[in-house]
Amino acid sequence: MASLWHGSGAVIAVIALFAAAPTSAPAADTTLTVGKANQVSDAIIPVDVGDRLGIFKKHGLNLTITNFGGGSKMVQAMTAGAIDIGDGAGTEMAFVAKGAPMIAVCESTTTAPFLGIGVPWDSPVKSLAGLKGKTIGVSSPESFSDWSGHELARKQGWGENGVKTVAIGGGPAPALAALRRHLVDAVIGNTSQFLAFEETKDGRLLAPVTSFEGNVASGALFASNRLIASNPDAIRAFNAAWIETVDYMRTHKAETVKIESALNHFDENVMSREYDLVAGMYTKDCRFDADSLATLKRSFGEMKLVEGETDMAKLYTEAYVPK
């Protein structure tokens, strides 16, 4: 798929345009290590898009991007001091409440149309109602996908144990293996991967999680306490570059589809369908939505992620949002 990227004159021209554009970034470049909770999630992948377009570079940032198979693994890397920025989901704010050395600095997406429930191609399950009592694969314990599985059971009236969730890892490879071998009845993962599985008849998309979820802070960016203490301006630059990237993606479908297809190796037809599902989910300014915070607070209690009452104001900050 690399030839899609290198062979596209239009995309190369876009990169040149960004590289030549004036910028107010610091003169000295800063290197940041960014950890992604999922390799191909639409809520997370803008960091790759902006890096390829040179937008983060324009803001004085050199990025080293590492993929992790779930939010808990990303937080482990943050705790170990291996990453500066975490690119994940709002549910990882529970780790902040439990003492992880980081804080949320941007709500990147409010809803989760990029996340869906997929089943094996030959599964007898034809609707969400057919998942009662079934086993659903999720990326990791206490992750957004894990919470979504239990939220489905609650919204369907099945009770807390209406489904069983098991950790299989994040990304297309473990999901494909689990569906092909019927290790689980369903998987909660990126809708793009299920759309791709449909083309090979390995799996199919049953429904996006937006069919039973509201605003959930599905995407969030985190900064390490170490970075906050040593270089707060780098966080402001990162958020500014992220917002600029999302603005570009929102208005350049063809170019975005081509870049994302090259990044995750899904066919452009798949990514075009995915783009139409997710284009409206990104926040325009990184600010945190009250409904999202309320849903997160409820989820922390429902999943027993945090003991006692959670003060959500201590888990995020808008101090690094561009004015």
Task: Examine the fold and report which residue of 192, 211, 230 is the final residue of a domain before the chain moves on.
Answer: 211
Please indicate, yes or no, if residue 320 is contained in any of the structural domains.
no
Reported as a single tens digit per residue, the pLDDT across 244-276 is 999 999 999 999 999 999 998 889 999 999 999
Stated pTM of the model: 0.80
pLDDT tier, 13 (very low <50, low <70, confident <90, very high otherwise): very low
Please indicate, yes or no, if residue 143 is contained in any of the structural domains.
yes
> Looking at the structure, do residues 278 and 186 belong to the same domain, yes or no?
no
> Looking at the structure, do residues 120 and 260 belong to the same domain, yes or no?
no
Q: What is the residue-averaged pLDDT of the chain?
A: 89
> Looking at the structure, do residues 247 and 223 belong to the same domain, yes or no?
yes
> Measured in whole angstroms, how far is the alpha carbon of residue 280 from the centre of its chain?
14
Please indicate, yes or no, if residue 15 is contained in any of the structural domains.
yes
> Looking at the structure, do residues 136 and 264 belong to the same domain, yes or no?
no
Task: State the CB neighbour count (10 A cutoff) for residue 81.
Answer: 12
Phi, psi of 31 (to 5 degrees): -95, 125
Using alpha carbons only, give the angle 180, 182, 184 rounded to the nearest 5 degrees: 120
Reported as a single tens digit per residue, the pLDDT across 32-47 is 999 999 888 899 999 9
Task: Examine the fold and report which residue of 189, 211, 233 is the final residue of a domain before the chain moves on.
Answer: 211
Separation in Å, CA 190 to CA 113, 126, 229, 237: 9, 19, 34, 28
> Looking at the structure, do residues 106 and 224 belong to the same domain, yes or no?
yes
According to the model, what pLDDT value does residue 7 have? 36
Q: Find the radius of gyration of the CA atoms of the chain.
A: 19
Residue 234, CA atoms < 13 Å, CB-side half-sphere: 22
Asked if residues 303 and 143 have their Cβ atoms less than 8 Å apart, the reply is no
Q: Is 9 helix (H, G, I), strand (E, B) or coil?
A: helix
Reported as a single tens digit per residue, the pLDDT across 84-143 is 999 999 989 999 999 999 999 999 999 999 899 999 999 999 999 999 999 999 998 878
Reported as a single tens digit per residue, the pLDDT across 45-70 is 999 999 999 999 999 999 999 999 88
Structure tokens at 71: 């939010």
> Looking at the structure, do residues 157 and 290 belong to the same domain, yes or no?
no
Domain of 10 in residue numbering reads as: 2-111+216-314
Average pLDDT over residues 166-187: 95
> Looking at the structure, do residues 107 and 220 belong to the same domain, yes or no?
yes
> Looking at the structure, do residues 247 and 200 belong to the same domain, yes or no?
no
Please indicate, yes or no, if residue 322 is contained in any of the structural domains.
no
Per DSSP bridges, beta strands 115-120 and 164-167 are unpaired
Count of domains for the chain: 2
Is the pLDDT score of 2 beyond 70?
no
Please indicate, yes or no, if residue 79 is contained in any of the structural domains.
yes
CATH classification at residue 154: 3.40.190.10
> Looking at the structure, do residues 281 and 228 belong to the same domain, yes or no?
yes
Per DSSP bridges, beta strands 135-138 and 30-36 are unpaired
Residue 289, CA atoms < 13 Å, CB-side half-sphere: 22
C-alpha 227/C-alpha 273 separation (Å) is 37
C-alpha 15/C-alpha 9 separation (Å) is 10
Please indicate, yes or no, if residue 319 is contained in any of the structural domains.
no
pLDDT tier, 308 (very low <50, low <70, confident <90, very high otherwise): confident
pLDDT tier, 28 (very low <50, low <70, confident <90, very high otherwise): low
> Looking at the structure, do residues 86 and 132 belong to the same domain, yes or no?
no
Facing residues of 86 across strands?
Answer: 35, 222
DSSP sequence for 173-199: HHHHHHHHTTSSSEEEEEHHHHHHHHH
Q: Which of 284, 291, 260, 289 is nearest to 191 (CA)?
A: 260
